[in-house]
Chain A
């Protein structure tokens, strides 16, 4: 990886309908390094797709800057940016054969017939699409159409590959298969890739780095393990993976160093502490209110002793995972505990104890 291949600075997009102006993208900045797999993740309407479309040049930014290799990218019309893009609906040209779909960008670049044939043949082979070259898109399955759309985007060696929810129309198994295929291809070609998805598992599985969007803002970016292990807001903690939120009280109001106390009186000193921004701090009424977030796999159940007495409400077997749902005085909401092996003697209705590992918990305070 070398310096930033793509720099986005203070990017903002406003939509105005009548008197109402909505900021679809609000002051977003990030850098993507050459060859990096960078994913924009967030719920629908969070601004991730709009950001991608502005980078593609399909939407005009209200303000901000987009630079590619240090040069202003915004003045270049989309057809001159030399990028490849894959759409959720694949957007294959229904009137053209697979060969012609893939050859489309090459024809626009004025390549000779033999050169086009050579390049198309190579990319079709790479994506195992040779048998379908003379078919029309409607004769292909969803996964095959997806691969054609990737071939079409890559054949002219773009400087960047943009993918907008490329797997959303595929069934669950194919989705997992395809995301690995995309990742392997991206590594092999070393192409800088921007990927948009609302599926956090997909994002953390394939990305070098993930940027989490919410309501038009980029709320946190980092490696998958950073955003999973140290979410900087309640939103990210909740959106990425599963999370238990336990209300606690700080020993010293406004200062997490004094430790926290769970609802049942047990003391806790989480290793990581995060001060919430104004909008999320609103949920905490008093200055000494705080929240501890623990992932289900970082909690354990013990029949004899622990931090919090609880009662097992429900035990679910989820493939290689066992999920316990427990009730306790420490939290009004049920708490989820996940283990890989069944705990002997702890069934539904059993009295038990929860154990919290301070190293894996994050404390959110005002």
Chain B
């Protein structure tokens, strides 16, 4: 063999890892840490003053004790959050049991259908309920005509709780169904041998075993619910919650200090829930005792099967009803509270096509740029933390997970306060929206990339190095090709959620950079529900196709992507 003619490319020291490490640290400090720290500082500063020791105050927080509007918003956030969580659990628990333990057909389809509410943003569902249950709503009119009885108005707590619980129940369903399916069937068989009835087994064995999963999933729903802006802003009516209060403090008074203080309280609430979740995760030691691959025995009784089918398909009908209604409304010419529209038209789509392509393109650009940023940054940090390359690993872990617990409105406030004045003014630009999206979603990419990279043998990189590859060549030739499919699937999911992001956008958008979500929001507030439905339907279809592509790429079914 003669390989002497081939020589290794000469290079000095390998600066790649160091340069990347510094870059990552700078970005984390500037766009993750600084905005949040700055917002926290401003929460303690008198409104209108520059941050200084003399202007420090607790006045922004004191309003939670003095102003009724603040107290009401806090209380509304908590109780509608709790109510929506309980409602979601009540809907999802029997459904999870049925899919896991009752012999009924199409169980896979049921699981897949539950992903639909997760895919479409809750606020799109929210205005569907106006079409159905509003003053001139289809159901309202139909009930009135039938019984002469008028439904109470949808606006306020009932509407918010209804829309939130039907949007977020799939989290409970997916997690608890997993727990039911994973439980060791031998435990239940042992109880059976001991003479317990089916009902008794359910009550004393099956449910207690799934309890930790149920509690964890309910906390996730609670965190999502108290951070949601779109639903209470559309269906809340007079009712304020913390996110809408932040919005009004900024849009009404541009009081960044008050908004920061409210945001801090909102975060505190989320952190309390996160703390409870972490505590639960530590104590749920008895869930995964099962060592058998045998599936649990499914109930085959007629009663159980009728109940399972009725409940599951009923819930799915209710959950996808908003999407159906919106699709129908987008083609409806006249729909004056009748069961179906009186005539159909494409005019709404024509209007969207002629006037609203701007927002659609904007959303695609902003979401695309933010996703690209998430992928680059999230993958590099995931690599660093999986391979222990950076000394500051724990700090990066903490920084990057932090925005995960932050509602969108809070991120919006942080960006407004950080880049509204000072050396880096970004207000009104596309960059600030991209960065806020990045802050909200980078944790997701980080986690999926970290899981993927952790499964790649580090010896592969050693082998590549020994064969003569520089660090960057190893990344390009070995690590990226191996990790790409999973990371790309994660990126598509992130992209699909960002094209309809509302809660950070609503604080940061400008006339030039209106997005899909802002257009829908404006159309709904202007009572132009048909146009809102057209653009909402386009968004939902787009998102559905993206998620399908992601599940193909990752080789997992859609429901698993969200588990």
Contact = CB atoms under 8 A, between A and B. Distances in A.
Interface of A: 56-58, 77-85, 87-89, 91-95, 104-106, 108-111, 115, 119, 122-123, 149, 152-153, 155-157, 162
Interface of B: 1-11, 13-14, 457, 459-460, 462-470, 473, 477-478, 481-482
A58 B462 contact: yes
B6 A106 contact: yes
A84 B465 CA distance: 10
A184 B5 CA distance: 27
Contacts of A115: 5-6
B482 A105 contact: no
Contacts of A79: 8, 465-470
Secondary structure of the B contact surface, majority rule: loop
A95 B7 contact: no
A148 to B, nearest CB: 11
Nearest to B470: A79
A119 B8 contact: no
25 contacts: A56-B462, A56-B466, A77-B11, A77-B14, A80-B10, A81-B466, A83-B466, A85-B463, A88-B459, A89-B457, A91-B459, A91-B460, A93-B463, A93-B478, A95-B481, A95-B482, A104-B469, A104-B477, A108-B9, A108-B468, A115-B6, A152-B463, A153-B466, A156-B468, A157-B2
A110 B481 contact: no
A309 B14 CA distance: 69
A74 B4 CA distance: 23
B470 A94 contact: no
A153 B462 CA distance: 12
Contact of B6 (A80, A87, A109, A153): A109
B466 A84 contact: yes
Contacts of A95: 478, 481-482
A105 B467 contact: yes
Contacts of B11: 77, 80
A59 to B, nearest CB: 10
A157 to B, nearest CB: 5
Contacts of A83: 466
Given A78-B466, A82-B468, A85-B463, A109 B481 contact: no
Nearest to A105: B467
Given A82-B8, A89-B459, A95-B482, A157 B3 contact: yes
Contacts of B468: 79-80, 82, 105, 108-109, 156
B249 to A, nearest CB: 47
Contacts of B5: 111, 115
Contact of B9 (A57, A110, A123): A110
Given A91-B460, A91-B462, 6 more contacts: A77-B13, A80-B8, A87-B462, A88-B459, A109-B7, A111-B5
B478 A108 contact: no
Contacts of A105: 467-468
Contacts of A77: 11, 13-14
Nearest to B458: A91
Contacts of B477: 104
B393 to A, nearest CB: 14
B465 A104 contact: no
B465 A111 contact: no
A12 to B, nearest CB: 21
A11 B459 CA distance: 23
Contacts of B457: 89, 91
Contacts of A122: 1
A231 B27 CA distance: 59
Given A79-B469, A85-B463, A156 B481 contact: no
Given A94-B482, A95-B481, A111 B6 contact: yes
A89 B2 CA distance: 29
Contacts of B465: 57-58, 78-79
B464 to A, nearest CB: 7
Contacts of A155: 1, 3
B453 to A, nearest CB: 14
Nearest to A88: B459
A152 B1 contact: no
A194 to B, nearest CB: 13
A312 to B, nearest CB: 45
A87 B463 contact: yes
A203 B113 CA distance: 61
A83 B467 CA distance: 7
Contacts of A152: 463, 467
Contact of A108 (B1, B13, B459, B469): B469
B7 A93 contact: no
A122 B469 CA distance: 22
B462 A119 contact: no
Contacts of A104: 464, 467, 469, 477
Closest 5 CB pairs of A and B: A109-B6, A105-B467, A91-B459, A91-B463, A108-B468
Contacts of B482: 93-95
Given A87-B462, A95-B482, A123 B1 contact: yes
Nearest to B485: A95
Contact of B467 (A58, A94, A108, A123): A108
Contacts of A162: 466
A108 B10 CA distance: 11
Nearest to B466: A85
A331 to B, nearest CB: 45
A13 B6 CA distance: 34
Contact of B3 (A81, A87, A89, A109): A109
A111 B8 contact: no
Given A79-B469, A93-B478, A156 B3 contact: yes
Nearest to B14: A77
Contacts of A84: 466
Nearest to B477: A104
Nearest to A58: B462
Contact of A111 (B3, B9, B481): B3
Nearest to A156: B3
Given A85-B462, A108-B8, A119 B467 contact: no
A78 B466 CA distance: 6
Contacts of B4: 157
A232 to B, nearest CB: 34
A119 B460 contact: no
Contacts of A91: 457, 459-460, 462-463
A149 B1 CA distance: 18
A99 B180 CA distance: 46
Given A95-B482, A111-B3, A156 B467 contact: yes
A108 B4 CA distance: 13
Nearest to A107: B477
Contacts of A81: 466
Nearest to A154: B1
A93 B3 contact: no
Contacts of B9: 108, 110
Nearest to B474: A79
A152 B466 CA distance: 10
A84 B5 CA distance: 18
Contacts of B6: 106, 109-111, 115, 156
A77 B471 CA distance: 11
Nearest to B463: A91
Contacts of B473: 108
Contacts of B13: 77
A88 B458 CA distance: 12
